[in-house]
Chain A
C-alpha cells in the first residue's frame, strides 16, 4: 500500500508540474519603446512618432498590443521581425494589425517556433511599423523583459 500511495503522490506531482508548465502563470511579459526607425538627416521629419508595445508569450503564442502617435503620415502595416541580436534588423515572422492613421493601435498574435522563442528571450524580436512616408519602417520596438539585453 505504501508503494501505491507513493505512486499516487508522484502521479499527482507530475500532473501539477505538467499543468503549471502550460498555465497562465508561466506567461512571460515583454515590452518596448516604439522609436523612429533608422534614418538620416534627410528623412528625419518623415519617420517621427512614438509609442509603446507590450507582448505576452503564453505557450508558443506571442500576443502583441501597442499604441502609437505623432506619425507624419498614416501607418500602413505592422510586422513582427527577428534579427540576429537586439538592434540588428532581420526578417518578418508575422503580420500584425495597425490602425491606418497617424495615431492608433497595434495588435495581433503570432505562433513562434523554438528558435524564435529563444530569439525573443535574448532580445532579438522587434515590431516594425510602416507608414506612407516610412515604407521601409517608420518605427521599431525591440521587445525586452527587463533582463540585460545582449547577444
Chain B
C-alpha cells in the first residue's frame, strides 16, 4: 500500500513537473493527485470515444486543445462538471462517483495546460476554464495515453483471446463464386444477402397471412461492451456471427448450439467498435477488425489462417467485407484526425492475404481530384471513410461504394470552404480486379453538416435501365445510371432545410446561404441532423413489388464547428450539437417509407415515436421486418405498410435482420444491441420516457410453430 502511495505521489509529481513547463496560468483549482486518478478514470470511461490523445472522434468532441477551449473556455468548471456528470459516459450516464467526475475534470484541465493547486476540485468548484487553462496539450498526451494495466470495461468481457471454443462444422460446403452470384434461397452469404444489396430473402414460408404466429425458437447472448450492429451470415445451416470485441462464432442455425468461437480481440471499448458483417468464400470466413486488421479464419474450425494490417492504429474498420473474384475488399474508418495515412478501400487475395490494390478515397495532391481540397496538404485531408461495404454488378464487373464526409465535419473548421473535397459524399464505381476508378458521382460538394452519403448502393434493373439507388443522411433518395454515373433522379423522402435547390437535370445541390458562409463558433440549423434522415439501418429492395423500403429518422440539430489544431493528430469531427424534433412530425422520430423504384413515387409510409435501429429485411412472403429503439421488432405488409405482428425484445432492436432456412424451415434472425453514434444518441436525449437496460446484446431467432 505504501509502495502504491509512493508511486502515485511520484507519478503525480512527474505529471505536475511535465505539464507545468511553459504555462503562465494562475494556480489551478485541483490537487496534483487528482490528475493521475482522473487520467485512469478517463482511460476507463472516456477514451473509448474521445481517444487516447483526447482529440475526439465520430460524435465525440475533442477534450484537449483549440477545439476544447473554444467550446468550454468561457464556461466554468462547474458547468463542465454538470455536463459530464449528467451525460457521460454514454450508455452509463451519471453513474460514476462524484469524485470520479471531479478527478476526470482535473485531468482534462491538466491536459489543457492548467496547473494544479492545493485545493481539491469538486462539483462546486466554479472557475472560468480559460482563466486556468490555455489549451496547450502536454507532449505525453499528444503521443497518446497508454493504460498502465488492462482497462476495466462495463461489463467486462472475457479477456482470453484466440480460439476459445474448439469445434468443427460438419460437412462444410465451400462457398464458390457461383454461390455468391446465385445464393441458395436458404442462405444469407453476405452483408445485404446478394451482390446487388437488396436485403431480400426469396423464402415464402412466412407470409402476410401467418406471420402473426411467429414464435421464438432460440436465442444467444452476445458480447457486451462496444456497439453491436451485426449481420448474421448463414450458410448451409450454420450461422457465422460477429460479436463486439472482434469475436467470431459459428452456431448451428437450427438449434443455436455453439460450434466454435475465436476471440480475435482487441476487446471493445465503450460506445464504438461494431463489426457490421463477415464474408464467406471457399473454406474461409473473413472479418475486418476494429483495429484495422483483416483476418481469414478456417470456416470449419475457426482457426486463424492469415491476417494482415489494413492500416496502422488508430485506424479501424466496422463496415464489413465483401469478396469478388477471389479478392477480399474492405473499406476503412477512423480517419477523423490528421494523419500520414489517408482513408482507402483495399483488396486482398482471399487465399493468402497478399494486398492486391488500394484506392484512396481521399483524393491526394497530384492525383485526379487532388486539387479539390483548397490546397491542404495530404496530412490534413481527413475523413472520406468507407464504413459500409460495397455492392457489385457482375455484368458490368463494377463494384460500388459510398464515401463518407470529410473531417472535420464543418467546412469552416477544416478550412476547405467552397471546395468540393473529393471523394467525400460520392458514389465510387471501381473495377474490382484492379481498383481503378470507372466513374464517380459526388452527391454533395463540400459537405458541411455531418450528412454522410456513405450508405448502401442498391442495384436495380428496369428493362434496359440499370440503376443504382442510395439514400444519405439528408434523406434524399438518389437514382444513378450505374453504367456511367449519370444522374437519373432525386427525391426528398422527408423534410429537409439544408438544400435550397436540387437541380432536377443534374442533381447538383445548392446549400442554404448560411451553410455556405458559415464561420466557426456559430450555430447552424440542420434538418435532418446527423442521425439522418437515413443512416446505417439499410433499406430493403423487395423485387416482386418493385419497392424500396427505407427506415428514416426525423430529428434536427444545431451544429457549431470549432477551430482545430492543423497538425498531425489534430482535426477530428470538432463540432458541438444540440438536438430537437423535426418540425411537423408531432415528435415522431421513426418513419418507414416505401418507394416505387421505377418512378420514385411513394407507395406508403407511417410514422412512430421511436426511430428504427435495424435495417429492413423483406421476403418473398410479402413481409418486411424492422426493429426500433424502444425494443419493438415488427413485421409489416410489404404492399401496404400495415403492421402484421410485433414483439418486444430485451433491448433496442439494432442490427441487420436476416432470413434463412434449415431443413426446409424458414427462420428470421435479429439482434438487439447498444452503442453507436447519432442513431443511439439522438433518441437517448429526445425520448426520455424510453428506459433501456444497461446490457442486452442478444441474438433472437424466430420461426412458425412446428407443423404449421
Q: Do A and B interact?
A: yes
Q: Are A35's CB and B581's CB within 8 A?
A: yes
Q: Is A40 an interface residue (CB 8 A)?
A: yes
Nearest Cβ in chain A — how far from B78, in angstroms?
A: 12
Interface size on A, residues (CB 8 A): 28
Interface readout for B679-702 with A: 1 if CB under 8 Å, 0 if not? 001001110100000000000000
**B72 within 8 Å of A (CB atoms):** no
Contact of B87 among A42, A88, A150 (CB under 8 A): A42
Say yes or no: A42 contacts B82, CB within 8 Å: yes
A13-21, A57-65, A78-86, A94-102: which lies at the B interface? A78-86
Assembled-state Cα–Cα distance A38/B526 (Å): 11
Determine if B579 and A40 form an interchain contact, defined as CB atoms under 8 angstroms apart: yes
At the interface, is chain B mostly helix, strand, loop or mixed? mixed
Q: Which residues of A contact B439 (CB under 8 A)?
A: none
Cβ of B594 under 8 Å from chain A: no
Does B582 belong to the interface (CB within 8 Å)? yes
Which of B63-71, B305-313, B493-501 lies at the binding interface?
Answer: B493-501
Q: Of residues 130 to 145 in A, which have CB atoms within 8 Å of B's CB atoms?
A: 140, 142, 144
C-alpha gap A39/B558 in the complex (Å):
9
Give the chain A neighbours of B497 by CB distance below 8 A. 85-88, 150-151
B523 on interface, CB distance cutoff 8 Å:
yes
Q: Are A87 and B87 in contact (CB under 8 A)?
A: no
Q: Is the CB of A151 within 8 A of B86?
A: no
> Which residues of B sit under 8 angstroms from A33, Cβ to Cβ?
581, 583, 586-587
B539 CB to nearest chain A CB (Å): 23
Q: Is B584 an interface position by the 8 A CB rule?
A: yes
Instruction: Check A41 against B93 for contact (C-beta < 8 Å).
Output: yes
Determine which of B87, B496, B513 lies in contact with A84 in the assembled complex, contact meaning CB atoms within 8 Å: B513
| Nearest CB of chain A from residue B389's CB, rounded to whole Å | 31
Collect the chain A residues with CB atoms within 8 Å of residue B83's CB: 40, 42
A85 engages B512 (CB within 8 Å): yes
CB proximity of A134 to chain B, nearest CB, Å = 12
B473 to chain A, nearest CB (A): 15
Q: Which of B495, B514, B581 lies in contact with A150, CB distance below 8 A? A: B495
CB of B82 within 8 A of CB of A38, answer no
Given A84-B512, A87-B556, A88-B525: A39 touches B580 (CB 8 Å cut-off): yes
**Complex contacts, A35 vs chain B, CB 8 Å:** 580-581, 583, 587
Is residue B557 within 8 Å, beta carbon to beta carbon, of the partner chain?
yes
> Given A85-B512, A151-B497, A151-B499, are A41 and B685 neighbors across the interface (CB < 8 Å)?
yes
Q: How far is the CB of B363 from chain A (nearest CB, A)?
A: 30
Chain A residues near B681: list those with CB within 8 A.
Answer: 41
B146 within 8 Å of A by Cβ?
A: no
A45 contacts B688, CB within 8 Å? Answer: yes
- Find out whether the CB atom of B558 lies under 8 angstroms from the CB atom of A149: no
Which residues 571-585 of B have a CB within 8 angstroms of A? 577-584
Output the nearest chain B residue to A148 by Cβ-Cβ distance: B495
Residues of chain A within 8 A (CB-CB) of B583 are 32-33, 35, 86-87, 123, 142, 144, 149
Q: How far is the CB of A7 from chain B (nearest CB, A)?
A: 47
Dominant SS among interface residues on chain A: loop
Bound-state Cα–Cα, A88 to B512, Å: 10
- Tell me the chain B residues, 142-188 only, with Cβ under 8 Å from chain A: none
Given A38-B580, A40-B579, CB of A89 within 8 Å of CB of B525: yes
Q: Within 8 Å CB of B500, what residues of A?
A: 151
A87→B515 CA distance, assembly (Å): 13
**Is A44 in the interface zone, CB < 8 Å from B?**
yes
- Taking a contact as CB atoms under 8 Å apart, the answer to whether A140 and B512 are in contact is no
Please give, as numbers and ranges, the residues of chain A lying within 8 Å of B584 by CB-CB distance.
Answer: 86, 142, 144, 149
A37 at the interface (CB under 8 A from B): yes
Asked if B527 lies at the interface with its beta carbon under 8 angstroms from chain A, I say: yes
Q: How far is the CB of A147 from chain B (nearest CB, A)?
A: 10
Complex CA distance for A150 and B584, rounded to whole angstroms: 11
Q: Chain A residues near B492: list those with CB within 8 A.
A: 150
In angstroms, how far is the closest chain A Cβ from the Cβ of B444?
Answer: 15
**Chain B residues in 8 Å Cβ range of A66:** none
Cβ of A74 within 8 Å of any chain B Cβ, yes or no, is no
Q: How close is A133's CB to chain B, nearest CB, in angstroms?
A: 12
| 19 pairs from A and B in contact (CB 8 Å cutoff) | A33-B581, A40-B87, A40-B579, A41-B681, A41-B685, A42-B87, A44-B685, A85-B525, A86-B497, A87-B495, A87-B556, A87-B582, A88-B514, A123-B583, A140-B580, A142-B583, A142-B584, A150-B492, A150-B496
- A45-B688, A88-B514, A151-B512 given; name 14 further pairs at CB < 8 Å: A37-B580, A38-B578, A38-B579, A39-B685, A40-B87, A40-B577, A40-B578, A41-B87, A41-B681, A42-B83, A88-B497, A88-B524, A149-B583, A151-B499
Q: Which 4 pairs of residues, A with B, have the shortest CB-CB distance?
A: A38-B578, A41-B87, A88-B525, A142-B583
